[in-house]
């Protein structure tokens, strides 16, 4: 699970800030208790000294330190019991003076060894949702708000089922894909059909749910994606090249890439090559992709290389959308 470096950085900063606030609050609480119960302050000073005493006892030449260490530990235990007694008698929890991390598993560092802790993963997911919200209106776009009301129950010309039943099936596939990611039967989806049928909406729903479940998601348009590939290859500005390289790395390495509106870009030989590289690299790396496009499979075959079309047909579950443009229907018949 590879989050973008900027997402991890922002999440780590939030974790560090939360830790700092808790430490400040604990220091204030400790100072208050010390003022009210001065004996607890004396006990804590004695407890800190016992560490030095244990080290000194263990370093004494020619003597068995075990009896001295055992005696120090007994004194230490008695001091702790007295402190607990003082605290509880005055209405404080027994551990009121102890530093307690919000996450005992990692001690609020965000890492357990080389593995990212669940507390940091949760913050990364939140930061990722925030980043996706810059591109998508995630305030409304969710499977719960996807409506079938504008899709006709009448059979669509040339098809055996109605737009309503077709879209109900597609919605269920997309929801299962997102809720079971990355273990759903279909690893990659290709959403095709005319504009205004809900492809981008459902793509955003997938992005939101997969990101909320803690996987790294990158959502971008074909125009932006291929522009970044071109900048990486052709730009002479070192900063632009570095930024573009970072973006293309995200496209290639994230757990789920959602490429929206394939075909809206100016298709050049470079774009054809970049698209094949993107698709093939993610497939060979076992990373999953959702592509939405207004193009049919025949149009994709003509517009891009045969290799690309073959990879899409062989490795993607194609979900054709059909029906009337929902945006136009909403203008003509607003929901009450």
144: Cβ contacts below 8 Å, ≥ 6 apart: none
Residue with tokens 């496009």: 293
Q: What is the pTM of this model?
A: 0.73
| DSSP string for residues in 39-65 | HHHHHHHHHHHHHHHHHHHHH-TTS--
Q: Is 283 within 8 Å of 30 (Cβ atoms)?
A: no
pLDDT digits 0-9 by tens, 37-72: 999 999 999 888 877 776 676 666 666 667 777 888
Dihedral over Cα of 127, 132, 133, 134: its sign: positive
Structural domain spans, the chain: 5-112, 136-332
Topology adopted by domain 136-332: Rossmann fold (3.40.50)
pLDDT digits 0-9 by tens, 118-159: 899 888 888 887 777 666 665 567 788 888 888 889 888 888
Q: Strand order in 288-293's β-sheet?
A: 217-221, 256-262, 288-293, 189-192, 317-320
User: Taking 80 as the threshold, does the pLDDT of residue 215 lie above it?
Assistant: yes
Confidence grade of residue 250 (pLDDT, cut at 50, 70, 90): confident
pLDDT digits 0-9 by tens, 305-333: 888 999 999 999 999 998 888 777 776 66
Q: CA 324, CA 151: separation in Å to the nearest integer?
A: 7
- pLDDT for residue 335: 44
Residue 286 DSSP symbol: T
User: Taking 80 as the threshold, does the pLDDT of residue 258 lie above it?
Assistant: yes
């Amino acid at each position: 699970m590879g989050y973008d470096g900027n997402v991890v950085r922002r999440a780590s900063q939030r974790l560090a800030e939360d830790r700092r606030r808790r430490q400040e609050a604990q220091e204030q609480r400790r100072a208050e208790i010390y003022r009210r119960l001065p004996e607890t302050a004396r006990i804590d000073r004695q407890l800190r000294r016992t560490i030095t005493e244990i080290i000194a006892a263990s370093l004494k030449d020619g003597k068995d330190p075990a009896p001295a260490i055992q005696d120090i530990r007994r004194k230490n235990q008695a001091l702790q019991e007295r402190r607990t007694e003082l605290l509880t008698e005055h209405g404080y929890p027994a551990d009121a003076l102890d530093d307690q991390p919000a996450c005992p598993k990692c001690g609020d560092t965000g890492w357990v060894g080389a593995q990212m802790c669940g507390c940091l993963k949760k913050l990364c997911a939140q930061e990722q949702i925030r980043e996706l919200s810059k591109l998508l209106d995630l305030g409304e776009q969710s499977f719960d708000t996807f409506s079938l009301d504008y899709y006709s129950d009448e059979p669509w010309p040339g098809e055996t089922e109605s737009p309503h039943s077709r879209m109900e099936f597609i919605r269920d596939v997309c929801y299962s894909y997102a809720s079971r990611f990355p273990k759903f039967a279909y690893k990659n989806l290709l959403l095709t059909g005319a504009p205004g049928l809900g492809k981008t909406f459902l793509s955003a729903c997938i992005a939101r749910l997969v990101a909320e479940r803690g996987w790294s998601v990158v959502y971008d348009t074909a125009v932006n994606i291929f522009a970044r590939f071109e900048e990486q290859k052709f730009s002479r500005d070192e900063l632009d090249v570095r930024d573009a390289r970072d973006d293309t790395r995200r496209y290639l390495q994230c757990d789920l890439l959602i490429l929206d509106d394939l075909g809206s870009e100016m298709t050049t030989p470079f774009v054809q090559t970049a698209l094949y590289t993107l698709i093939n690299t993610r497939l060979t790396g076992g990373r999953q992709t959702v592509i939405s496009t207004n193009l049919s499979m025949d149009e994709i075959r003509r517009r891009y290389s045969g290799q690309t079309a073959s990879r899409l047909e062989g490795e993607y579950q194609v979900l054709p959308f059909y029906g009337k443009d929902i945006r136009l229907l909403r203008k003509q018949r607003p929901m009450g």
